[in-house]
Structure formats: structure tokens, C-alpha cells
């Protein structure tokens, strides 16, 4: 067997080779299931029915024809039974699909309900938003009040610094003036009066 080509080589004689197609077991089973359907042997029954019909047509005696006729009826009954069973299985599968879709929708609904349950309802959310809005407004009033106080303190600090600066200027001027007066007094004392 050559696994690359998928053919089976049989040696017929020493000088001749016969090439037959080789199908792996999985391939044979897959094709058989595709032909056979659900694996109930329907294709075999139909082939048997056709062969029975041909034998019945070619039957020579009446007894042989009657027995072939009974076999055909039996095989036909088996085929009808198999067809009815297949239809019932088909209907059952359709109902199962509908049932699975219903179950899937219920599972999806439950999952969405759990997600929704994690969030508060609209009424509570609106209440919280209103409370947060009031708190934000209150905090903005406090902020404005603090900013106004800060501005007032800046102005007062500026006035204080200006006053300190003026006071220093005045003190420096007073010092200079007293130094000048002392210098004049000292120079007057050292200078004799004419």
C-alpha cells in the first residue's frame, strides 16, 4: 500500500501489478453513513426490495412468485416502518431544537437579570443624583466663601505689608534725622561760638 497516493497495490502474478483504490477505514465508515443515513440499513433494504421485485418478475412458478411477493411486502413494511421512525425522530429533533432555543433564551434572560440586579433602579439612581447635585452646590458655595476669605486675607496681608514698609521707612527716616541732628549738635559743640 502506498499511503501517499491512497492506492492499494496487489500482486496478481509475479509480472503484473493491479492497482485498486484504497479507502481508509474512517473514509469507508463515513461514506457508508452518508449513504445509509442513520445506519438502520435502509439502503440494504431497498436493494433487497429491488432484487425481490426482479426475482418476482422472473419467477417461474406461482408458489415462488407468492413467496417473493410476501418477501417484498415484508421488506416494504420494514422500509415504511423505518421511514415512519425516521419522521418521528425528525419531529423529535425539531421539538428538541425549539426546546433548546427556549432554554437558551431563559438562560440569557437570567444572565441579563443578574446584571440588572447589580445596578440600582432608576428611582434610587435619580435620588442619588439629586443628593449629589445638592452636595455639589453646597460645596461650590463653601468654595466661593473660602475663596472670598482668601482674597480678603490677601488684601489685609497686602495692607499689613504696606503698613510695615511705611513704618520701616518712617523709622529709617527718623534714624537718619536723629543722626543728622546729633551730628549737628556734635559739630556745634565742637565749633566755638564766635
Domain ranges of the chain: 7-119
List of residues 6+ apart from 114 with CB closer than 8 A: none
- Which neighbouring-strand residues pair with 18? 10
Q: Give the model's pLDDT for residue 14.
A: 47
Query: Which distant-in-sequence residues (6+ apart) come within 8 Å of 95 by Cβ?
Result: none
Q: Quote the pLDDT of residue 187.
A: 80
pTM listed for this prediction: 0.41
- DSSP 3-state of 23: coil
pLDDT at 109: 95
Residue of 14, 94, 78 lying closest to 46 (CA atoms) = 78
What's 192's DSSP letter?
P
pLDDT in tens, the chain (194 residues): 444 444 444 444 445 544 555 556 777 777 666 665 555 566 777 888 888 888 888 888 888 888 888 888 888 888 888 889 989 999 999 999 999 999 999 999 999 999 988 888 889 889 999 999 999 999 999 999 999 999 999 999 999 999 999 999 999 999 998 888 888 888 877 766 55
Closest CA to 42 of 93, 89, 3: 89
Query: Given this model, what pLDDT does residue 186 score?
Result: 80
In angstroms, the CA 8 to CA 23 distance is 9
Could you list the beta-strand ranges (E) of 1-152: 7-11, 17-21
Contacts of 161 (CB under 8 A, 6+ apart): none
Query: Residue 57 and residue 51: Cα distance in Å, rounded?
Result: 10
Among positive and negative, which fits the CA dihedral 89, 95, 96, 98? Answer: positive
Degrees to nearest 5, angle at CA 118 with 112 and 122 = 95
User: What is the phi/psi pair of residue 54, to 5°?
Assistant: -65, -40
Amino acid at each position: 500500500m502506498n499511503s501517499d497516493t491512497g492506492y492499494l497495490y496487489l500482486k496478481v502474478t509475479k509480472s503484473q501489478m493491479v492497482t485498486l483504490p484504497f479507502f481508509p477505514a474512517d473514509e469507508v465508515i463515513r461514506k457508508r453513513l452518508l449513504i445509509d443515513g442513520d445506519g438502520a440499513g435502509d439502503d440494504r433494504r431497498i436493494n433487497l426490495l429491488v432484487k425481490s421485485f426482479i426475482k418476482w418478475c422472473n419467477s417461474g412458478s406461482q408458489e415462488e412468485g407468492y413467496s417473493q411477493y410476501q418477501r417484498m411486502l415484508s421488506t416494504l413494511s420494514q422500509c415504511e416502518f423505518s421511514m415512519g421512525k425516521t419522521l418521528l425522530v425528525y419531529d423529535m429533533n425539531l421539538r428538541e431544537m425549539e426546546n433548546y432555543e427556549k432554554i437558551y433564551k431563559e438562560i440569557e434572560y437570567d444572565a441579563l437579570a443578574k446584571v440588572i440586579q447589580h445596578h440600582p433602579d432608576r428611582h434610587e439612581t435619580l435620588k442619588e443624583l439629586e443628593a449629589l447635585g445638592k452636595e455639589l452646590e453646597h460645596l461650590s458655595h463653601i468654595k466661593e466663601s473660602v475663596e472670598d476669605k482668601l482674597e480678603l486675607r490677601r488684601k489685609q496681608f497686602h495692607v499689613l505689608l504696606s503698613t510695615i514698609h511705611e513704618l520701616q521707612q518712617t523709622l529709617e527716616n527718623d534714624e537718619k534725622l536723629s543722626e543728622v541732628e546729633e551730628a549737628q549738635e556734635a559739630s556745634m559743640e565742637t565749633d566755638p561760638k564766635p
